[in-house]
Amino acid sequence: MNPLEMLSLDDLHARTSVKWRLHPPDVLPAFVAEMDVVLAEPVVRALSDALRRGDTGYPSGTGYVEALAAFASTRWGWDGVSVERSAMVADVMTGVSEVLQLVTEPGSPVVVNPPVYPPFFGFVSKIGRRPVDAPLGADGRLDLEALGEAFARAATTGLPVAYLLCNPQNPTGTAHRPDELASVARLAHEHGVRVVVDEIHAPIVLDGVRFTPYLSLEGTDDAFAVMSASKAWNLAGAKAGAVRAGSAAGDDLGRMPEVVAHGPRHLGVIGHTAALRDGGEWLDEVLAALSANRSHLADELAQRLPGVRLREPEATYLAWLDCRALGLGDDPAETFLERGRVALGSGPTFGTGGAGHVRVTAATSKPILSEIVERMAASVG
């Protein structure tokens, strides 16, 4: 069964999330990381049971982290998730912000790899730190030479330096290889940089690719990784997440203010825990559908918009499209919205390298994915 093919457009228009309410009804939305999917039955059951019990208080216990540890062991063959070196947070970006405040100072440089998830820039600036670019290479992968140079420049400030890594990468869908991540660890150690990794898309790796947890590698003892089940099981509206510290970073994590643990929602913890423990079969169905959608999108673009370049993603349910050959300027999403009534992610918001690009959320049915491309093509026809 394909969970992405079970909802009609009318079903989706009945939703009240930002994806379906930001724009008028004639606009087809594919701009936000939200799946057009029927939820996993174990999640629905866990949340429904909690509501029937009136179990809507404050979260308690370590069940979320224990479920994450079991998932990591089963999926990635990694037994490194420790309850003692983990902390619950409201969501991934809250966790990232709190960790950055533990290991840096106001004004500290935080290295990022644009084009990258736009809130990286906003959250880093909000806590009084300064984003420093180490752009991805032309192939969409980490440019280790540029990263080393950025680390060296940042170190000259005399302030503590951090590196905020997106693994897998949003928007390109790149799943960083073990050798690349090992090089990151080496460079970070060489320059005294603390690494904080956003691994929210970790469960979403497509055919032929394996996710590598950053903390599973040697030389990452002083690093942190933050994860949530929200993206893989479409639970962004039920907030929860977990910070994991490397074996030498537990003392830093212990300095996190106690009030941070008040952020996760009890229903979020319940839903995420059920997903991690019992949602594997559903996830496998979604991953198979996403792999098929990747091929379908490539075929549709080749037929209707051959000038658009798709670097087929290895992970996530996002597609990063190079539209520069269409001559639509820095922000093609504006044209696609105005002329085609399709809402896509705006490339320039992803930072350096985003101009002339759009991000498409491909976690939908094939007919809707075809309609997205048809509307894009109509915008330039």
Average pLDDT, the chain: 97
pLDDT tens string 60-72:
999 999 999 999 9
pLDDT tens string 143-154:
999 999 999 999
Is 48 buried (19+), middle (13-18) or exposed (0-12) by CB count in 10 A?
exposed
- Half-sphere exposure of residue 248, counting CA atoms within 13 Å on the CB side? 9
Q: Give the chain's radius of gyration (CA, Å).
A: 20
Domain boundaries, the chain: 3-40+280-380, 45-278
Considering the domain delimited by 3-40+280-380, tell me its CATH architecture.
Alpha-Beta Complex (3.90)
Tokens describing residue 52: 């029937």
pLDDT tens string 157-172:
999 999 999 999 999 9
The predicted structure's pLDDT at residue 1: 82
What gap in Å lies between CA 42 and CA 54, rounded to an integer?
18
Report the predicted TM-score, pTM, of the whole model to 2 decimal places.
0.97
pLDDT above 90 (res 321): yes
Would 3-40+280-380 and 45-278 be classified into the same CATH topology?
no
The predicted structure's pLDDT at residue 208: 87
pLDDT tens string 173-210:
999 999 999 999 999 999 999 999 999 999 999 998 99
Residue 197's contacts (CB-CB under 8 Å, 6 or more residues apart) are: 164, 165, 166, 167, 214, 215, 223, 224, 225, 226
Considering the domain delimited by 45-278, tell me its CATH architecture.
3-Layer(aba) Sandwich (3.40)
